[in-house]
Structure 1
Amino acid sequence: MDLRHPLASLTLLALLAGCSSSQPAQPAAEITGECNVDNLQDMLGQNASAELIEQLQQQANAKTLRVLAPGDAATMDYNPQRLNIDIDESEVIIRLTCG
């Protein structure tokens, strides 16, 4: 399973949901962007599902995120508001960092 396509679908779905006329859902918690993964290290070894990735972003308090699989190209810019999720070939989380 290639995780990049479900993540793109999740992002598109979130954007389209913003166009609906129904009542907005209660925000889970306001994200200030001060990313912190100290309390998330127990998530290493978990399968990186779209739901788990969304939870990790909320728990890390990160405004943005990127999922990096082996061989993926990544910019070298440092963004303290970004959660980086490194996964292996089996889409298992092997590293969580901010930056």
Structure 2
Amino acid sequence: MRFATLILALAALGACVPDAGEEDNRASACGADALQPLVGTPVGEHDFADGTRIIPPGTAVTMDFRSDRLNVETDEGGTITRIYCG
């Protein structure tokens, strides 16, 4: 009986993992996919759309997911390290 419960639990967890197509849609919803070449460049060299979150290290951000919101993470020096939707 425990084995059957374990199998059901693992099957349920597998359903929670987004497929690759869903990840692609998330990256294109806010335009992050097109901005990936900016990773590694200084954030100050670019004009991002209103509502873009520029996130330096240690900055607190809300955990709500908005597919249309662009997030730009930087390192201590202001270099872009990650661009994603959310």
Identity rate of aligned residues, in percent?
A: 38
2:41 matched residue in structure 1:
46
2:16 matched residue in structure 1:
none
CA–CA distance in structure 2, aligned partners of residues 39 and 66 of structure 1 = 17
TM-score by length of 1: 0.53
The answer to which structure has the higher helix fraction is: 2
1:79 matched residue in structure 2:
66
Aligned residues of 1:64 and 1:81 also touching (Cα < 8 A):
no
Larger radius of gyration: 2
CA shift, 1:43, in A, is: 0.7
CA shift, 1:66, in A, is: 0.5
TM-score by length of 2: 0.61
1:17 matched residue in structure 2:
none
**Structure 2 residues not aligned, in runs of 5+:** 1-28
**Structure 1 residues not aligned, in runs of 5+:** 1-33, 58-62
Question: RMSD over aligned Cα, in angstroms?
Answer: 1.5
Highest RCO, 1 vs 2 (Cα 8 Å, sep ≥ 6): 2
- Deviation readout 1:21-66 (Å, 9 max, x if unpaired): xxxxxxxxxxxxx4121121111110011x50x2x43xxxxx6211
2:76 matched residue in structure 1:
89
CA shift, 1:79, in A, is: 1.0
